[in-house]
Structure 1
Amino acid sequence: MEIFKIFLVIHIIGGSLSLLLGTYILLTKKGNVIHKKIGKVYFYSMLINSILAIPMSLMHTNYFLFLISIFTIYMLLTGVRYLNKKKVANVQITDWILTIVMFLFAIAFIGFGIFNIIKGNYFGSVFIVFGSIGLLFSYQDKLNFKGKSTIKNYFLTTHIQRMAGSYIASTTAFLVVNNTFLPSILAWLLPTILMVPLIVTWTRKYKVQNKKVT
């Protein structure tokens, strides 16, 4: 069996498992022992799945698979690391590297999207949307790392946002691969459109506002 087929089998298994576990996590109580254990399995299955997707997207040129992979890896790694970022002193060089890498990819995605639209391929709008989200996340990291967040428990709310974002990536990939009736652009953006209001709701529910930001 060629290496691509091996990667594909692992990718399908990991993607299916993370989709099921992610759905369970979203629908059940947060923060208990079960949540943490299932969350850890979700993290590693999704991470392996996303890392494998990068060489797969290069073997059989697939820009959109590459896009989703980069975003998912970033959201997973930062989402988990944020739980240990309860104060600025906990920020490490690795955190800044992840943020800078995401910022550079976000700029590249936006540029690639604009290029495609100029060429008449309006699917480039997908890259612009995801690139803009990447810029927003990078800016959020900067504020958090500098101690300028307006949210006292930003480590918790950002964890929720990033892990939910990785779930959006999983559902997006699933929908795009299995889509037979939706316009392709809508299939790519629908999970984001549906999930963002929920992320905003959860953030408002769990956040503790700072009285004063210096």
Structure 2
Amino acid sequence: MEKFLIISHIVCGGTVLTIGLIQMLNRKGGKNHIILGKIYVGAMWWICLSALSIITFYRFSAFLMVIAVLTFHTSFVGVRVLKRKKIGTEKWYDWAVAIATILFGIGLVSYGGYLYFHTTQTILAILCAVFGILTLKNGSDDLRFFMKPKTVDKHWWLYQHIGAMGGSYIAAITAFAVQNPNIFLPNSSNQWLLWILPGIVGTPIISIATKRWRKKLNPASATM
């Protein structure tokens, strides 16, 4: 079973990386985009489930734990906003995922603090704190939106979809880079940079894509 989980995890990871790249070129909202999007999300969720299964039943890995939560949360939000385009239509499981994400973020920050003060794994401690804060922010942003939705234009869901799915792809690239450090930084003592470089590069790209769609669909809000 462990071998099956690992192999299927790798296969789904490769599927996500390939489809994510294709989706960047696909016509948004088209049939191919929708079909590949469903495959992408299914693969993402298996990545999460298989990672949690490996952690629970075979061996603990802070890396797998972080990636599992990030991939699930971002892909879940990316799908759900397509189902709740009207503000205030959140379901109980939207709230549950947001709260669970917040709790995980708090736990990861706490774990980072433990590593920092009680072990010599300083870099891992800092990475746990950084990703914990990021996770905590993601869940908190969702919860605040549910509780006090802001007045936004009618395409708000599209912007959230782009941000969430883009974030899930960044998480997938991060996973690949961290698992294969010698491909990108062979024999380097700075391989920890692979944890943060995909986000540093990918976040501005997502921001640019969102602004382009905002300008295209609602020019008046492009400068907001």
TM-score, normalization: structure 2?
A: 0.85
**Deviations 1:128-186 (Å, cap 9, x if unpaired)?**
22212222222321233235335323211111111111111111111111111252320
Q: Is contact 1:74–1:98 with CA below 8 Å preserved after alignment? A: yes
Aligned to 1:193: 200
Aligned to 2:120: 120
Output the CA distance in 2 between the equivalents of 1:185 and 1:150. 40
User: After the TM superposition, which of the residue ranges 115-124 and 102-111 deviates more from structure 2?
Assistant: 115-124
Q: Is contact 2:26–2:32 with CA below 8 Å preserved after alignment? A: no
Output the CA distance in 1 between the equivalents of 2:45 and 2:16. 9
Aligned to 1:169: 171
For 1:188, give the aligned amino acid.
Answer: W
Aligned to 1:30: 28
Out of 205, 209, 215, the position equivalent to 1:202 is 209
Output the CA distance in 1 between the equivalents of 2:76 and 2:137. 17
Q: 1:98 to 1:166 in 2, by over 3 A?
A: same
Output the CA distance in 2 between the equivalents of 1:132 and 1:176. 19
Output the CA distance in 1 between the equivalents of 2:88 and 2:116. 43
For 1:187, give the aligned amino acid.
Answer: L
Output the CA distance in 2 between the equivalents of 1:89 and 1:187. 38
Aligned to 1:158: 160
Aligned to 2:44: 46
Aligned to 2:81: 82
**Deviations 1:51-73 (Å, cap 9, x if unpaired)?**
11111123122111111101111
Output the CA distance in 1 between the equivalents of 2:146 and 2:213. 20
For 2:205, give the aligned amino acid.
Answer: L
Q: Secondary structure of 2:53's match? A: helix
Aligned to 2:108: 109
TM-score, normalization: structure 1?
A: 0.89
Q: 1:146 to 1:86 in 2, by over 3 A?
A: farther
Q: Is contact 1:144–1:154 with CA below 8 Å preserved after alignment? A: no
Q: 1:204 to 1:136 in 2, by over 3 A?
A: farther
Output the CA distance in 2 between the equivalents of 1:206 and 1:60. 43
RMSD: 1.8
Aligned to 2:53: 55
Q: Secondary structure of 1:89's match? A: coil
Q: Is contact 1:88–1:146 with CA below 8 Å preserved after alignment? A: no
Q: 1:151 to 1:130 in 2, by over 3 A?
A: farther
Note the residue ranges of structure 2 that are not aligned, 5 or more in a row. none
